Amino acid sequence: MVTVELDKVDEIIDRYVGEEGILIQLLLDIQSELNWIPKEALERISERLKIPVSQIYRIASFYKAMSLTPRGRHIVNVCLGTACHVRGGPRIMDRAKQILGIDAGETTPDMKFTLERVNCLGCCALGPVVVVDRDYHGKITPAKVKEIIETCD
């Protein structure tokens, strides 16, 4: 891990020193800053906040919003909540897998895309829904998936 990144981790830890019950929020901040949580970050938190690594790892591996492997520049979230499921969500997911050549939860070798399935994004009325990074796309068809993925640079 490069020093710059570790500096960022330190900065984030600084915000939480001395506070109670902060581990999840702290890990979420690192996740959003670095797009994943490297092993070195876990070690650094452990060292500075005197929390066993095992305890930090337990949390980081439990929550879906945290990733212990590097993620792609673009995160493609396909919603497979109930409403999207009954309106053809699984076919959207199949198409996305086929286009990207990866399974849900995986990242393309060029580190451009990570494909994720989510349980529900709360825009059920417009399902099936795909969210790329922070852009929401409603009423998606398999053909539109291709279009959306292709417009990512």
Partner 1 sequence: MTFQELQNRAKSEWEALRNSTYILIGTATCGRAAGALATLEALEKELSRRSIEVKTIQVGCMGLCYAEPLVTISKLDSLRIVYHNVTPELVPRLIEGYIMSDDPCLELALGILEGGEEESPYIPELLRFEHELRLVLRRCGYIDPKNINHYIANGGYNGLEKALKLQPEEIIEEVKGSGLRGRGGAGFPTGRKWESCRNAKGEPKYVVCNADEGDPGAFMDRVVLESDPQQVIEGMIIAGYAMSAKQGYVYVRAEYPLAIECLQTALNQAKEMGFLGDNILGSGFSFHIEIAKGAGAFVSGEETALMAAVEGKMSTPRPRPPYPAQAGLWGKPTLLNNVKTFANVPLIIQRGADWFSSIGTERSKGTAVFTLAGKINNAGLAEVPMGTTLRELIYDIGGGIPNDKAFKAVQIGGPSGGCLPASLLDTPIDYDSLREAGSMMGSGGMIVMDEDNCIVDAARFFLDFTTRESCGKCTMGRLGTLQMHETLEDIVAGNGKIEDLDLLLELAEDVKAGSLCGLGRTAPNPVLTTMRYFRDEYEAHILEKRCPALVCSELIAYYILPDKCDRGCEHCVLTCPTEAIKGEKGEIKVIDQEKCSKCGTCLEVCPPEYNAVVKLSPISLLPSKEKGEVK
* Residues of the shown chain interacting with partner 1 in the complex, contacts defined by CB under 8 A: 20-25, 27-28, 58-59, 62-66, 81-87, 91, 94-95, 98, 118-127, 129, 134, 136-139, 141-142
Q: In angstroms, what is the minimal distance from the CB of 67 to partner 1?
A: 10
Instruction: State which residue, 72 or 81, has the beta carbon closest to partner 1.
Output: 81
Instruction: State which residue, 66 or 68, has the beta carbon closest to partner 1.
Output: 66
Phi-psi region of 131 (alpha: psi -120 to 50; beta: other; left: phi over 0): beta
Supply the DSSP symbol for 126. Answer: G
Instruction: State which residue, 59 or 68, has the beta carbon closest to partner 1.
Output: 59
Question: Which one, of 86, 69, 149, 71, lies nearest residue 120 by Cα?
Answer: 86
Tokens of 76: 């493609």
Rg (CA), the chain: 18
Instruction: State which residue, 7 or 58, has the beta carbon closest to partner 1.
Output: 58
How far apart CA 106 and CA 119 sit, in angstroms, is 17
Q: In angstroms, what is the minimal distance from the CB of 107 to partner 1?
A: 17
Instruction: State which residue, 7 or 82, has the beta carbon closest to partner 1.
Output: 82
Q: In angstroms, what is the minimal distance from the CB of 104 to partner 1?
A: 11
Secondary structure (3-state) at 82: helix
Q: In angstroms, what is the minimal distance from the CB of 84 to partner 1?
A: 8
For tokens 């109930």, the residue is 82
Tokens of 136: 């929401």
For tokens 């996740």, the residue is 31
Q: In angstroms, what is the minimal distance from the CB of 4 to partner 1?
A: 25
